[in-house]
Chain A
Amino acid sequence: MRRVLSAVAFVLLAACWTAAGQMRRSGEPLSLDTAVDDVTNDRIQRLKQWLNAVDRHEPGAHDDAVIDVGKWSNGELRGLWIDSYVLAQLMRNLRLSRFLLHSDDKRRTVDIRYTAWQIGRMRVFACAAAGTLARPDCAQLYIAAKNTDDDLVRLSEHAAAERSKSGDDNYLVRRGALLHADVAMLEPHGVVESFANRSLGAPTIGPQTWRIDISDGRELDVGLSALHWDLARLALDQVRPGASAKPAPERDAMVRAWYRATAAWMQYREDHDTLHLDRARTIFPDDPDILFLSGCQRESYAAPSIQAVTQTLTLPAGLTAGIGSDRAELRLAEGFFKRALAKQPDMGEAHLRFGRVLGLEGRHADAAAEIRQAMTLVTDTPLRYYGELFLGAEEEALGRLDEARDAFDRAAALFPSAQSPLIALSELAKRRGDRAGALAAIQRVFTLPPAGWEGRDDPWWSYHTAQARDAEALVDAVRAPFQREKP
Chain B
Amino acid sequence: MSARIAGLCVAVACCSASLSQQPAFSTKVEAVRVDVLVLENGRPVTGLTPADFDIADNGVPQQVDFVSFEQIPLNVVLALDMSDSVAGERLEQLRDAGGAVLEGLAKNDQAALVTFSNVVSLGAPLTADVAAARHALADAHGFGETSLVDGVYAAMMVGESDVGRALLIVFSDGLDTASWLHSDAVLESAKRSDVVAYSAAIGTVGATQFLRDLSAFTGGTLYKIETTKDLRATFLQILDEFRHRYLVSYTPQGVSKDGWHRLDVRVRNHKAAIKARPGYLAGRAP
Which residues does A use to contact B, with CB under 8 Å? Answer: 1-3, 215-218, 304-305, 307-308, 311-312, 389, 399, 419-420, 423-424, 426-427, 430-433, 435-436, 438-440, 442-443, 445-446, 450-451, 456, 458, 460-461
Q: A217 contacts B119, CB within 8 Å?
A: no
Give A424 to B189 CA distance when docked, in angstroms: 12
Q: B85 contacts A216, CB within 8 Å?
A: yes
Please give, as numbers and ranges, the residues of chain A lying within 8 Å of B121 by CB-CB distance. Answer: 446, 450
Q: A446 contacts B205, CB within 8 Å?
A: no
- Beyond A432-B285, A445-B154, whether A217 also contacts B192 by CB under 8 A is no
Please give, as numbers and ranges, the residues of chain A lying within 8 Å of B180 by CB-CB distance. Answer: 389, 419-420, 423-424, 460
Give A305 to B203 CA distance when docked, in angstroms: 12
Q: Which of B232-286 contact A (CB under 8 A)?
A: 283-286
Kindly identify which residue among B84, B175, B192 contacts A218, using a CB–CB cutoff of 8 Å. Answer: B175
Give A218 to B85 CA distance when docked, in angstroms: 12
How distant is A161 from chain B, measured CB to nearest CB, in Å?
49
Please give, as numbers and ranges, the residues of chain A lying within 8 Å of B173 by CB-CB distance. Answer: 216
Which residues does B use to contact A, with CB under 8 Å? Answer: 1-2, 19-20, 22-25, 27, 83-85, 117-122, 143-146, 150, 153-154, 157-158, 160-161, 173-178, 180-181, 185-186, 188-189, 192, 203-207, 283-286
Give A3 to B188 CA distance when docked, in angstroms: 31
How distant is B91 from chain A, measured CB to nearest CB, in Å?
13
Please give, as numbers and ranges, the residues of chain B lying within 8 Å of A3 by CB-CB distance. Answer: 84, 145
Give A14 to B157 CA distance when docked, in angstroms: 55
Give A472 to B95 CA distance when docked, in angstroms: 41
Kindly identify which residue among A2, A427, A446, A456 contacts B153, using a CB–CB cutoff of 8 Å. Answer: A427
Q: What are 5 inter-chain pairs, A to B, with CB distance below 8 A?
A: A216-B85, A216-B203, A216-B207, A419-B150, A435-B2
How distant is A397 from chain B, measured CB to nearest CB, in Å?
10
Please give, as numbers and ranges, the residues of chain B lying within 8 Å of A436 by CB-CB distance. Answer: 22, 24-25
Q: B177 contacts A216, CB within 8 Å?
A: yes
Q: B177 contacts A426, CB within 8 Å?
A: no
| Residue of chain A at shortest CB distance from B87 | A2
Q: A217 contacts B204, CB within 8 Å?
A: yes
Q: B84 contacts A1, CB within 8 Å?
A: yes
Q: A308 contacts B181, CB within 8 Å?
A: no
Q: B145 contacts A443, CB within 8 Å?
A: no
Q: B285 contacts A1, CB within 8 Å?
A: no
Q: A1 contacts B85, CB within 8 Å?
A: yes
Give A6 to B205 CA distance when docked, in angstroms: 21
Q: B119 contacts A305, CB within 8 Å?
A: no
Kindly identify which residue among A424, A433, A450, A460 contacts B283, using a CB–CB cutoff of 8 Å. Answer: A433
Q: A218 contacts B285, CB within 8 Å?
A: no
Please give, as numbers and ranges, the residues of chain A lying within 8 Å of B177 by CB-CB distance. Answer: 1, 216-217, 304-305
Give A463 to B269 CA distance when docked, in angstroms: 57
> What are the 9 closest A-B residue pairs judged by CB atoms, nearest first?
A217-B175, A216-B174, A420-B180, A308-B206, A1-B145, A446-B122, A431-B285, A433-B284, A2-B84
- Beyond A216-B85, A433-B27, A442-B157, whether A311 also contacts B206 by CB under 8 A is yes
Please give, as numbers and ranges, the residues of chain B lying within 8 Å of A420 by CB-CB distance. Answer: 150, 180
Please give, as numbers and ranges, the residues of chain B lying within 8 Å of A423 by CB-CB distance. Answer: 120, 150, 153-154, 180-181
Give A216 to B19 CA distance when docked, in angstroms: 31
Q: A433 contacts B145, CB within 8 Å?
A: no
How distant is A314 from chain B, measured CB to nearest CB, in Å?
13
Q: B22 contacts A443, CB within 8 Å?
A: yes
Q: B207 contacts A215, CB within 8 Å?
A: no
Q: B181 contacts A451, CB within 8 Å?
A: no
Kindly identify which residue among B19, B84, B150 contacts A439, using a CB–CB cutoff of 8 Å. Answer: B19
How distant is A57 from chain B, measured CB to nearest CB, in Å?
35
Please give, as numbers and ranges, the residues of chain B lying within 8 Å of A456 by CB-CB distance. Answer: 119
- Indicate the member of B22, B157, B180, B185 with the most A CB atoms within 10 Å: B180
Please give, as numbers and ranges, the residues of chain A lying within 8 Å of B157 by CB-CB distance. Answer: 426, 430, 438-439, 442
Q: A217 contacts B207, CB within 8 Å?
A: yes
Give A435 to B85 CA distance when docked, in angstroms: 34
Give A294 to B204 CA distance when docked, in angstroms: 28
Kindly identify which residue among B2, B122, B146 contacts A216, using a CB–CB cutoff of 8 Å. Answer: B146
How distant is A327 from chain B, measured CB to nearest CB, in Å?
15
Q: B175 contacts A305, CB within 8 Å?
A: yes
Q: A1 contacts B174, CB within 8 Å?
A: yes
Please give, as numbers and ranges, the residues of chain B lying within 8 Å of A424 by CB-CB distance. Answer: 180-181
Please give, as numbers and ranges, the residues of chain B lying within 8 Å of A426 by CB-CB distance. Answer: 153-154, 157
Q: B284 contacts A432, CB within 8 Å?
A: yes
Give A307 to B205 CA distance when docked, in angstroms: 12
Kindly identify which residue among A312, A389, A431 contacts B205, using a CB–CB cutoff of 8 Å. Answer: A312
Q: A218 contacts B174, CB within 8 Å?
A: yes
- Beyond A217-B175, A424-B181, A427-B186, whether A433 also contacts B160 by CB under 8 A is no
How distant is B160 from chain A, measured CB to nearest CB, in Å?
7
How distant is A3 from chain B, measured CB to nearest CB, in Å?
7
How distant is A433 from chain B, measured CB to nearest CB, in Å?
4
- Beyond A216-B177, A430-B189, A460-B180, whether A451 also contacts B117 by CB under 8 A is yes
